[in-house]
Amino acid sequence: MTNLVLFGPPGAGKGTQASILKEKYQLVHISTGDVFRYNIKNETELGKSAKSYMDKGQLVPDEVTIEMLKAEVESNEGAKGFIFDGFPRTRAQAEALEDLLASKEEEVDAMVALEVEDEVLLQRLLERGKTSGRPDDADESVIRERIKVYYEETAILKEYYKKDDKYYGVDGVGSVQEITERLSAVIDKLV
């Protein structure tokens, strides 16, 4: 199995690249955002719990997020591996992911981070905001706050994966194909 954590700030292109990489390497793409939306829409117990925190503007506790991701992994028995997108976001989540994969005699092979300068991210998100309908993509101050929070929350995780030589930073600027080629060069060394 190949298990990747795909990381990068908002607007780095994680969703675009995950779609390409999941096909190329036949991996299951697990997006935290998609998992949350599915559970909330279908009013699962975990979805109701997550929504109760989100409705108050609070972060969903690690335990709820971890249970949702665990259910996703377990519903994909026999997969060749996973691309985790937007997870883990905290050290507790990284440790829980390690434990979950260890219970299946697996591990995270790499955290691959798309690195993009803040001003490029800002322009990408403002451009996306013109068509996405997402209010958080249309307001420059909100975008800057999202980028700031990303760096504050994930700095610890970069070091967490670096200590085991599992962190790979990849230049996230260029054409979609150029970025895919850079990511593939890293992944090909792992598979």
Beta bridge partners of 111: 5, 167
Q: Which residues are annotated as a binding site for AMP?
A: 32, 37, 58-60, 86-89, 93, 134, 146
Q: Which residues are annotated as a binding site?
A: 11-16, 32, 37, 58-60, 86-89, 93, 128, 134, 146, 174
Order of strands, sheet of 2-7, starting from the edge strand that comes earlier in the sequence: 28-31, 81-85, 2-7, 110-115, 167-171
Q: Which residues are annotated as a binding site for ATP?
A: 11-16, 128, 174
- Looking up tokens 């990284």, which residue turns up? 94
Residues annotated catalytic, as ranges:
14, 89, 128, 134, 146
Residues 6+ apart with CB under 8 A from 124: 11, 13, 116
